[in-house]
C-alpha cells in the first residue's frame, strides 16, 4: 500500500483583473458643435461605489473623451492619452487635431491587444474643417466616425432611441422635404437629457448625475436657449479658438 | 443558447386615452437562422382583448389553443365575454400550474375593461413565464428586444394619446427597437383597440 497521505488534490486559483462599473456615455455631433455626455454613478454589482465619478474628460480645446466600462482602466487610459497629448504639444507647439487623437487612441488600445483596457471610448469634438465629430471605439481600438453613439450599461436602451431621433430612422419626410443632416444644439441637448432620464428610469446602473460637455466650433456662440441653462465655460489656451462648456443636471438617485 | 431566445420575437402593448395598442414583429427563427416572416404572435381573445405571446414558438401555439379553450369554457358557463382583468388571472394561474416545468412564454395583454358606469377603461398587463402579473399603466414589453423596447418606449410614450397618436408611438417604438435586435423584426403588425372598433395594420419595416 503506497503512502496515500502524500497525494494532494489539485487546486485551482483565479484572479480576475477586471470589473464592470456600470454607467452610460453618449455623444452627438452637430454641424458646428458636439455634445459628449455621461452619467456620474459608479457601481459594482448592486452596490453604488460613488454617486459622482466623472466619465467624461476634457482633453484639449477641441476634444472631449468619454470612457465607460472598467473605471480603473478608464482613468488610467485617460491619464495616458492626456500625457501623449502633452508630449505632442511640447514637440509641435499646437494641440493635436481630433482625427489624429482618434488614430492615437486606436494605437494605444491595440498596443494592449492581449491584455486590453476593458473600456469603451467615445471621442467627441471639432474637426480641423470646423465640423462636429464623434469617434467611437471598441476595447481593442476598432473605430469609426459617426454622427451619434451611445455606449455602456444602457446602450441597448439609448441607441435605438437615437436612431429614431437623430438619424430619423423609420420616419418618412413629408412630400418635397427631407430630414436635416444635423440638429440644432438646443434640440440635441433635449434629446441627451431625455435619453439619460429614460435610461435612469429603466436601468439600475444609470443615475445620480449627468455631465454634458459642449464643444463649440471656432467663431460660434451658444444660442440663447442654451445660455439660459447657464453652462460653465472651461478655460481655453487661445481666446479665439474652439470653446468647451459643461452643463450639469441631477438624475434620479434610486 | 437560451430557450426563450431560440425562436426570437418581441411584443409591446401601450395604453392610451380610451384605447390600447398591441404590436409585434413577424419573425420566426431557429437560432440565428430565419425560418419564416409571417409568424403572428398576437391573438384575439374577445372583441376587446388581444394577447401577445413571446418566447418558444411551440409553446406560443400550444398556449394560444389552450387559452382559446379556457375562454370558450368561461363564455359558455358564464354566458358573457370575459373581462381583461379576469383573463389576466386566468393566464396567471394557468402558467403557475406549470411552476416547475413552465411553458417558455411571456404573455402581454391589451384590452378595454368595462367600468361600473358602462364605459371602457384601458387595461394592459404582462406576465413572466410562470405567471407573475405586471400591471403597468404606461406600457408592457416582452421578447428578445425587450431592453431596446424599454428604452425607446420610455422616450416616446406620453399619457392620454388618442388612437392615431398611439398607433404612431407604438409603431415607431417597435420598429426602431427591432432594428437593433438580430432576433426580432422582418415585418410587424399593430392592433389598435377602441370601444368602437379594432384597427389592424401591417407595417413595412427593414427586412435584414
Predicted confidence (pLDDT) per residue in B152-199, tens digit: 999 999 999 999 999 999 999 999 999 999 999 999 999 999 999 999
Residues 155-184 in A contacting B (C-alpha not used; CB under 8 Å) = 156-161, 163-165, 169-171
Return the pLDDT at A239: 76
Please write the tens of the pLDDT for every residue from A139-160. 999 999 999 999 999 999 999 9
In DSSP terms, which residues pair with A148 in a beta bridge? Answer: A28
Return the pLDDT at B69: 98
Cα–Cα distances in angstroms (integers) from residue B110 to residues A226, B62, B87, B131, B142, in the given order: 41, 20, 11, 16, 13
CA distance A173 to A162: 17
Instruction: Please check the confidence at residue A237 and state whether its pLDDT lies above 80.
Output: yes
With an 8 Å Cβ cutoff, are B179 and A154 in contact?
no
Q: Is the dihedral of CA A94, A97, A102, A106 positive or negative?
A: negative
With an 8 Å Cβ cutoff, are B172 and A198 in contact?
no
Between A2 and A250, name the one with better pLDDT: A250
Q: What percent of chain A has pLDDT over 90?
A: 94
Cα–Cα distances in angstroms (integers) from residue B127 to residues A82, B134, B163, B182, in the given order: 50, 6, 25, 24
With an 8 Å Cβ cutoff, are A156 and B148 in contact?
yes
CA distance A87 to A109: 18
| Helix, strand, coil % over all residues of chain A, rounded to 5 | 30, 30, 45
Element holding A73 (H helix, E strand): helix A71-92
Average pLDDT of the residues in A50-60:
98
Retrieve residue A107's grid coordinates: 494605437
pLDDT band, residue A210 (cuts 50/70/90):
very high
Instruction: Please check the confidence at residue A238 and state whether its pLDDT lies above 80.
Output: no
Q: Average pLDDT of chain A?
A: 96
Q: Average pLDDT of chain B?
A: 98
Question: Which chain B residues have a beta carbon less than 8 Å from that of A198?
Answer: 151, 154-155
CA distance A161 to chain B (A): 5
CA distance B152 to chain A (A): 5
Return the pLDDT at B86: 98
Retrieve residue B25's grid coordinates: 414583429
Average pLDDT of the residues in B33-50:
98
Please provide the DSSP assignment of B42-70 as one string: EEESSSSEEEEEEE-HHHHHHHHHHHHHH
Chain A and chain B share a number of CB contacts under 8 A equal to 55
Contact of A236 with chain B, judged by CB distance below 8 Å, is answered with no
CA distance B148 to B183: 12
**Which of B150, B154, B176 shows the shortest C-beta gap to A164?**
B176
CA distance B39 to B25: 8
What is the 3-state secondary structure of B75-135? HHHHCCCCCHHHHHHHHHHHHHCCCCCCCCEEEEEEEEEECCCCCEEEEEEEECCCCCEEC
Return the pLDDT at A138: 98
Please write the tens of the pLDDT for every residue from B107-129. 999 999 999 999 999 999 999 99
Question: Which chain B residues have a beta carbon less than 8 Å from that of A158?
Answer: 151
pLDDT band, residue A1 (cuts 50/70/90):
low
Amino acid at each position: 500500500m503506497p503512502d496515500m497521505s502524500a497525494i494532494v488534490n489539485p487546486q485551482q486559483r483565479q484572479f480576475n483583473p477586471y470589473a464592470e462599473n456600470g454607467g452610460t456615455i453618449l455623444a452627438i455631433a452637430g454641424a458646428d458643435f458636439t455634445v459628449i455626455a455621461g452619467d456620474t454613478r459608479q457601481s459594482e454589482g448592486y452596490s453604488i461605489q460613488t454617486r459622482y465619478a466623472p466619465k467624461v474628460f476634457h482633453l484639449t480645446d477641441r476634444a472631449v473623451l468619454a470612457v465607460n466600462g472598467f473605471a480603473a482602466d478608464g482613468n488610467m487610459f485617460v491619464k495616458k492619452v492626456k500625457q501623449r497629448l502633452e508630449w505632442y504639444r511640447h514637440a509641435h507647439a499646437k494641440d493635436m487635431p481630433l482625427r489624429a487623437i482618434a488614430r492615437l487612441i486606436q494605437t494605444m488600445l491595440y498596443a494592449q491587444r492581449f491584455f486590453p483596457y476593458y473600456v469603451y471610448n467615445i471621442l467627441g469634438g471639432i474637426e480641423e474643417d470646423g465640423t462636429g465629430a464623434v469617434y467611437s471605439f471598441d476595447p481593442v481600438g476598432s473605430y469609426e466616425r459617426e454622427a451619434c453613439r451611445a455606449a455602456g450599461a444602457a446602450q441597448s436602451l439609448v441607441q435605438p432611441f437615437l436612431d429614431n431621433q437623430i438619424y430619423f430612422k423609420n420616419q418618412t419626410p413629408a412630400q418635397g422635404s427631407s430630414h436635416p443632416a444635423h440638429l440644432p444644439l438646443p434640440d440635441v441637448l433635449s434629446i441627451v437629457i431625455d435619453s439619460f432620464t429614460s435610461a435612469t428610469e429603466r436601468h439600475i446602473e444609470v443615475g445620480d448625475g449627468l455631465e454634458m460637455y459642449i464643444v463649440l466650433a471656432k467663431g460660434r456662440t451658444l444660442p440663447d436657449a442654451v445660455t439660459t441653462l447657464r453652462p460653465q465655460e472651461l478655460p481655453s489656451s487661445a481666446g479665439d479658438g474652439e470653446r468647451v462648456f459643461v452643463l450639469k443636471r441631477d438624475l434620479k438617485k434610486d | 443558447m437560451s430557450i426563450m431566445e431560440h425562436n426570437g420575437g418581441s411584443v409591446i402593448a401601450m395604453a392610451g386615452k380610451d384605447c390600447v395598442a398591441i404590436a409585434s414583429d413577424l419573425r420566426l427563427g431557429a437560432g440565428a437562422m430565419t425560418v419564416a416572416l409571417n409568424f403572428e404572435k398576437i391573438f384575439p381573445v374577445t372583441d376587446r382583448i388581444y394577447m401577445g405571446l413571446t418566447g418558444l414558438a411551440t409553446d406560443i401555439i400550444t398556449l394560444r389553443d389552450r387559452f382559446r379553450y379556457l375562454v370558450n369554457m368561461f363564455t359558455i358557463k358564464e354566458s358573457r365575454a370575459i373581462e381583461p382583468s379576469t383573463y389576466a388571472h386566468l393566464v396567471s394561474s394557468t402558467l403557475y400550474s406549470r411552476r416547475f416545468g413552465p411553458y417558455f412564454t411571456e404573455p402581454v395583454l391589451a384590452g378595454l375593461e368595462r367600468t361600473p358606469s358602462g364605459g371602457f377603461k384601458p387595461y394592459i398587463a404582462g406576465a413572466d413565464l410562470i405567471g407573475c402579473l405586471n400591471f403597468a399603466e404606461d406600457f408592457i414589453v416582452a421578447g428578445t428586444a425587450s431592453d431596446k423596447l424599454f428604452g425607446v418606449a420610455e422616450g416616446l410614450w406620453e399619457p392620454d394619446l388618442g388612437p392615431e397618436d398611439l398607433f404612431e408611438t407604438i409603431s415607431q417604438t417597435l420598429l426602431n427597437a427591432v432594428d437593433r435586435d438580430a432576433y426580432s423584426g422582418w415585418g410587424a403588425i399593430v392592433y389598435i383597440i377602441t370601444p368602437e372598433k379594432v384597427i389592424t395594420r401591417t407595417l413595412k419595416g427593414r427586412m435584414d
